[in-house]
A = this chain, B = another copy of it.
Amino acid sequence: MNTTALCPRFEKAMSILSQRWTGLIIYQMLSGPQRFCTIESAIGVSGRLLSERLKELENQGIVNREVFPETPVRIEYSLTEKGLSLEPLMREIEKWSQTWLETDSTAKND
């Protein structure tokens, strides 16, 4: 049973961020509206999961989907106000990672 003493809002925020790819998708979209294939290749997520995540983020009011009936069709994804408000948090992650993480190889395990 889940008898959590934690704030349910915090838990929900965490459940969003702890979904694989959502953080990177949001971070990537901080640089402006972009299309499916751009996000796909920028962060290296598969179409299947990107599609799934974008739908979820749209349902949560974090991402906006706009269709431009050009040729071929252009669909742009952008952050809503709610999505943009995640920027300070993303910057904190950025800061922390710059300060405390190494590129990889040196796993700091001794």
- Which A residues contact B (CB, under 8 angstroms)? 1-14, 17-24, 27-28, 41-44, 59-61, 82, 85-86, 88-89, 92-104, 107-109
Contact = CB atoms under 8 A, between A and B. Distances in A.
B23 A17 contact: yes
B86 A89 contact: no
Given A17-B93, A44-B1, A103 B27 contact: no
A2 B86 CA distance: 25
B13 A101 contact: yes
B92 A8 contact: no
**Secondary structure class of chain A's binding surface, majority of residues:** helix
Given A3-B41, A4-B44, 20 more contacts: A2-B44, A4-B43, A5-B42, A6-B42, A9-B102, A9-B103, A12-B97, A12-B101, A12-B104, A13-B93, A14-B93, A17-B17, A17-B18, A18-B19, A18-B22, A59-B107, A61-B108, A61-B109, A85-B96, A88-B96
Given A89-B89, A93-B89, A98 B44 contact: no
Contacts of A103: 8-9
